[in-house]
Amino acid sequence: MRPGNRFVPFITLSYTRPYMDKVQRIVEKYKIYIGVRDVKVVARPYKTRDAFTNLTSSPPTIYINEYLIDNEEVVEYLIIRELIHIKLHQYPPTRYSMPTLSYTQKFESNLYFLIPKEKVEKIREKIWQKLFEVNKKHRQPSAKDAVATRRVIF
């Protein structure tokens, strides 16, 4: 987007890759259900993070781990989770909302309304397995590993 351009799209994607179309469809679908107006989505490779949101940027930015995008079910969960975080932080509580609910209770009630709890647990397990595989693949050998491989056993 050019600096002088006054048109602001509802979704801004950092760069175009084949999987970003899938991400864009998911974001468009769920931002209507959740009630978030505009959001920016960025995909980057992370070793330990699955997704997080920068609420101080305008529009709020969702950063998704590039290694997790190959599974559509995982992407859907991550987008929903981050959109709920944006909703709960961006918009003030309504007049008739339950003031006794904590942030966690509000978040979980919104999340489990869209995705069943059992499915969320399975998706979280998939995320942990994928991150473990990524870290195992990119692991640098330590000094102990180097010494252990040089030893010759007679």
Domain with residue 53: its CATH number is 3.30.2010.10
The predicted pLDDT at position 103 comes to: 83
**Assigned domain for 5 exists:** no
The predicted pLDDT at position 95 comes to: 58
Q: Mean of the per-residue pLDDT values for the chain? A: 79
**Assigned domain for 41 exists:** yes
The first and second tokens of residue 15, run together, are 């760069």
**Assigned domain for 4 exists:** no
Domain that holds residue 129: 11-91+98-150
What one-character-per-residue DSSP string does 14-72 give? SS--TTHHHHHHHHHHHHHHHT---EEEEEE--SS--EEEESSSSS-EEEEEGGGTT-H
**Assigned domain for 28 exists:** yes
The predicted pLDDT at position 58 comes to: 85
The predicted pLDDT at position 134 comes to: 87
**Assigned domain for 3 exists:** no
User: Beta strands 39-44 and 11-13: pairing type?
Assistant: parallel
The predicted pLDDT at position 93 comes to: 63
The predicted pLDDT at position 62 comes to: 93
Instruction: Tell me how many domains the chain contains.
Output: 1
What one-character-per-residue DSSP string does 95-121 give? TTS-TT--HHHHHHHHHHHHS-HHHHH
**Assigned domain for 2 exists:** no
Task: Identify the segments of the chain with pLDDT beneath 50.
Answer: 1-2, 4-16, 148-154
